[in-house]
Amino acid sequence: MVRALPKTRILQGLVLALGLLLLVRLFASLDQFQWDFKTYYYAGRAFRAGLNPYYLRSLSQMAGQEIGFYYAYPPSALLLFDGLSRLPFPLASRLFFLAKMIALVGLYLLWGRGFLPRGLESLFLAFTIFGFGGALYVDLVSGNVNLFEQLGIWLALWAFLRQRWRLFAIALALASFFKLWPLVLLILPVLGGGRRAKRAAAASFALAVGLQAPGFLLYPELGATFLRQLPQIDSRGPRNPSLLAFLRDLGDWGVGRWNGLPAWLPEAVFVLAVALILGITLKALRERRVGRRQMVTLLCLTLALVLPRFKDYTYVLLLLPTYLALVEWMPAVRGRFLLFLLMLSPTIPLPFGVGGLIWESLTRYWPLFTAALIWWGVLSSLAGSKKALARGVG
């Protein structure tokens, strides 16, 4: 007699089959995707040819076609891309994609064994495919280095939960090699550790500086161009659903209707909003009973709200924290979250064209608003836990 498969196994098989189909489709037509990798590849070639890879014209000259995305990483990374660009482009592209697949498998293993009590459930696997506008799929399509960064970040967070400070320091320093923002996570050992943890944070920062120093020292002109260009990159909308981008779009909308609105207003509002969000988060971490896992969840959600750039693929960082928050820690808030989704409608008539603005903002910045809602939900959950403890229930 054939034993019936459990429903959970069937669901897992279907989700995995869908994921594999997406990967096969990507691998079969890589030349149509991986636009970020094209930037890396031709930045390496431009660097080797003595051109400035931070200029689009240098990249386009080396590619023989128009390259639409700036190279926006520190000079030290050029040494790595220089080596990769010595290979023929089709081979380099496929090797890069396979390396990302290895990083993705490592990330799933880390999530399943290190953070999820019941392992990689079907619901979680499905959420990683579709969550936050398909952030993981966007990462694979774009050919960004984000997955390598995410693997380093989550290895560091795993080490933080287990107080393995040496591993934490090394993993986080490596995670910040391409983009410097993961160093913000050094606040975790400062908030949730003793002297060893704080020494590990200092060591991680020193290692990160050491990894970047050769590029800035050997190529000071490239380093100056990198620092000068970074604040000028102004990506908005679905590709960069960050708070600053949303406020800038809102500012442009306001300027078109009210003359004399200062151009610096979006940045000023952003600074005030970041101060408020950080203040609320730090107050919650200090005053309430917060475990290390909840600290990781809350900080990841906070980063999505306060970083000036938080690209669509960067929302991979929120897949695990959001799943834990909605499915395991906050059943009441999950209900409110679903209710919020059901209340959205583009057909509700609103005066003065505000309806169009609201709906366009929701569709362009949906990941940002979702992250803000979940951040609020986690804070509400922590506040409820504190009240229960005060009553002697917890």
Per run of 10 residues, the mean pLDDT along the chain (length 394 residues) is 49 63 64 84 93 91 87 92 92 89 92 86 80 84 92 96 93 94 91 84 94 92 89 80 89 70 84 94 78 88 93 92 77 52 42 47 77 85 58 39
Give a yes or no: residue 84 inside a domain: no
Give a yes or no: residue 368 inside a domain: yes
Q: What's the confidence (pLDDT) of residue 149?
A: 96
Identity at 84, one-letter amino acid code: L
Q: What's the confidence (pLDDT) of residue 342?
A: 39
Q: Are 18 and 59 in the same domain? A: no
Range of the structural domain that residue 185 is part of:
7-30+89-230
Give a yes or no: residue 340 inside a domain: yes
Q: Are 241 and 122 in the same domain? A: no
209, 230, 251 - which closes a domain: 230
User: For the chain, how many structural domains are there in total?
Assistant: 3
Q: Are 53 and 59 in contact (CB under 8 A)?
A: yes
Q: Are 280 and 358 in the same domain? A: yes
Give a yes or no: residue 360 inside a domain: yes
Q: Are 271 and 357 in the same domain? A: yes
Q: Are 346 and 272 in the same domain? A: yes
230, 259, 282 - which closes a domain: 230
Q: Are 26 and 167 in the same domain? A: yes
Give a yes or no: residue 110 inside a domain: yes
Q: What's the confidence (pLDDT) of residue 155?
A: 96
Q: Are 65 and 120 in the same domain? A: no
In sequence order, which residues have a C-beta less than 8 Å from that of residue 289 and are 6 or more positions away? 382, 385, 386, 389, 394
215, 230, 245 - which closes a domain: 230
Give a yes or no: residue 319 inside a domain: yes
In the DSSP assignment, the letter for residue 325 is I
Q: What's the confidence (pLDDT) of residue 376?
A: 86
Torsion angle, alpha carbons of 219, 222, 223, 227, to 10: 180
Residue 312, sorted as left (phi over 0), alpha (psi -120 to 50) or beta, turns out to be alpha
Q: What's the confidence (pLDDT) of residue 192?
A: 72
Q: Are 174 and 304 in the same domain? A: no
Q: Smallest Cα–Cα separation from 236: which of 270, 208, 213? A: 270
Q: Are 346 and 216 in the same domain? A: no
Q: What's the confidence (pLDDT) of residue 103?
A: 92
The two structure tokens encoding residue 329: 């820690």
Give a yes or no: residue 207 inside a domain: yes
Q: What's the confidence (pLDDT) of residue 346?
A: 41
Q: Are 141 and 254 in the same domain? A: no
Give a yes or no: residue 316 inside a domain: yes
Identity at 353, one-letter amino acid code: G
From the number of C-beta atoms within 10 Å of its C-beta (0-12, 13-18, 19+), residue 137 rates as buried
Q: Are 156 and 266 in the same domain? A: no
Q: Are 256 and 377 in the same domain? A: yes
Q: CB count, 10 Å around CB of 13? A: 12
Q: What's the confidence (pLDDT) of residue 285?
A: 81
Q: Smallest Cα–Cα separation from 209: which of 177, 175, 240? A: 177
Distances (CA, A) of 74 to 71, 175, 249: 9, 13, 28
